[in-house]
């Protein structure tokens, strides 16, 4: 269930990010996220990760796993307005659904957070990312992350 945020008021949102939204991803959206961060911590969620190619780079698809597979990323605590949360949903597009998942921090503590999970059939030949770490996969393969052309449509 998505978080309910009062219109126009910045409220805390706990979001697990594992791809181009991660504060260290080096993308426009990563910088947009970083500007709204109150806390960020390495963490993981259950699932498997696949790489999807777009004309402007690569992005990850988190899918449920029937095994103990984990996806590595960043647990972010953000201050967002309802409009900014809608903007994130639009950025992720129809391929993703924002859901609540159990998150385990590197220190062992656990909590629930929202994350964008892939909801469609994966494109053919989308490689599985062994180890579940998208940023590490980009570094190892020399591939570039997806970069939105002009997003978000307003200044920080």
Nearest to 74, CA basis, from 54, 104, 99: 104
For residue 121, how far is the Cα from the chain centroid?
18
131 inside domain: yes
90-129 pLDDT per residue, tens: 999 999 999 999 999 999 999 999 999 999 999 999 999 9
147 inside domain: no
CATH number for position 111: 3.10.490.10
153 inside domain: no
32-90 pLDDT per residue, tens: 999 999 999 999 999 999 999 988 899 999 999 988 999 999 999 999 998 999 999 99
Flag whether the pTM goes above 0.75: yes
31 inside domain: yes
152 inside domain: no
Kind of pairing, strands 57-63 and 37-46? Answer: unpaired
For residue 156, how far is the Cα from the chain centroid?
19
109 inside domain: yes
Query: Residue 12: beta bridge partners?
Result: 79
25 inside domain: yes
Residues 6+ apart with CB under 8 A from 141: none
For the chain, how many residues are written? 156
Residue 23 domain boundaries: 11-141
Q: Hey, is 39 helix, strand or coil?
A: strand
The total number of structural domains in the chain stands at 1
Number of DSSP helices (H) and strands (E) in the chain, helices first: 3, 7
149 inside domain: no
119, 96 Cβ separation under 8 angstroms? yes
């Amino acid at each position: 269930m998505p978080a309910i945020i009062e219109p126009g008021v910045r409220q805390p949102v706990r979001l697990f990010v594992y791809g181009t939204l991660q504060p260290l991803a080096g993308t426009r959206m990563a910088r947009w996220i970083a500007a709204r961060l109150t806390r960020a911590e390495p963490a993981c969620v259950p699932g498997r990760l696949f790489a999807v190619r777009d004309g402007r780079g690569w992005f990850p698809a988190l899918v449920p796993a029937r095994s103990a597979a984990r996806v590595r990323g960043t647990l972010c605590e953000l201050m967002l307005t309802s409009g900014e949360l809608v903007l994130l949903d639009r950025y992720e597009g129809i391929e993703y659904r924002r859901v609540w998942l159990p998150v385990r921090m590197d220190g062992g503590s656990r909590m629930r957070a929202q994350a964008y999970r892939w909801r469609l059939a994966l494109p053919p030949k989308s490689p599985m990312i062994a180890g579940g770490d998208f940023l590490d996969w980009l570094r190892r393969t020399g591939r570039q992350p997806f970069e939105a052309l002009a997003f978000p449509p307003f200044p920080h």
